[in-house]
Amino acid sequence: MALVIKDLKVKIEDKEILKGVDLTIGKGEIHALMGPNGSGKSTLANVLMGHPDYEVTGGSIHLDGEDITEMEPHQRSLLGLFLAFQYPVEITGVTVGKFLKRITELRRKKKLGKFLDELYENFDFLDIDRKFINRYLNEGFSGGEKKRMEILQFLLLQPHYALLDETDSGLDIDALKIVAKGVNKLTGPNMGVLIITHYQRILDYIKPHKVHVMFQGKIVKTGESELVKELEQKGYEFITGVKVEEPVLSR
């Protein structure tokens, strides 16, 4: 049982972004995907979830043996695929409480007569003020609050495969620890996780089994968690052979 990405090629508006990505995320595995800006990491996450702006020009995506390459995002979601957005969208008029209840009901395929207690439990676990239940989804939320709201959805949906797109960016160390706490609560033999990150910090709290480096639309190196230390010391250059104009990995 795995999420299998085979030779995936993707373009947007005539520009080829992914040039043949091969990646297999098995249940019970945590993979980290790193790489400089523009390497295609977020594109991969969005394409896996079915973002309509991108066009798959080659290769395939299979989830537990089922070909999802052409499926709509909601179909992939109902099969157990989850994406924590890098930039969560604000939806005015929809309260957090109503939204969370509805998505949970869809995922579990049944109406829930009682939900408030479960909701409060998860809010408290992630240290989110209960007042947020009545706020409109992500409206006026800080970056950290938006990221925690994504993890809250993750906890309620209990997906089979989770894609966390730069869930750590913009977070201070306390918020980061809470995100890790949330992720670690559910990871286990029944879940495959792909953590897309630019900085290695979150990997101090969520231990990956495999680390991949993406560059110019392909995965160019795969290693164990020691690779993260190497990247921290040497920067991306030692893999890509190209000097990248950005700060070294750790913050």
Partner 1 sequence: MKTEELSIEKIMRELHRVIDPEYGYSIVDLGLIYGVEVDEKQVSIEFTLTHEGCPYGPMIEDSIFFVLKDLTDKTIFPRLVWEPAWDPLLMSDEIKLEMGFPV
Nearest to 44 by CA among 2, 86, 104, 99: 86
Check binding of 113 to partner 1 (CB under 8 A). Answer: yes
Q: Which residues contact 45 (CB under 8 A, 6 or more apart)?
A: 83, 86, 163, 165, 194, 196
Check binding of 134 to partner 1 (CB under 8 A). Answer: yes
Stretch that binds partner 1, among 49-57, 93-101, 181-189, 224-232 (CB under 8 A): 93-101
DSSP string, 16-29: EEEEEEEEEEETT-
CB atoms within 10 A of CB 114: 7
Q: Which pair of structure tokens corresponds to residue 73? A: 């995002």
Check binding of 233 to partner 1 (CB under 8 A). Answer: no
Nearer to partner 1, 1 or 116 (CB): 116
Nearer to partner 1, 13 or 117 (CB): 117
Check binding of 95 to partner 1 (CB under 8 A). Answer: yes
For residue 82, the one-letter residue type is: F
Q: How far apart are the C-alpha atoms of 138 and 74, rounded to whole Å?
A: 20
CB of 156 to partner 1, least distance (A): 13
Stretch that binds partner 1, among 72-80, 90-98, 144-152, 200-208 (CB under 8 A): 90-98
Check binding of 98 to partner 1 (CB under 8 A). Answer: yes
Sites of contact with partner 1 (CB under 8 A) = 94-95, 97-98, 101, 113-116, 119, 133-134
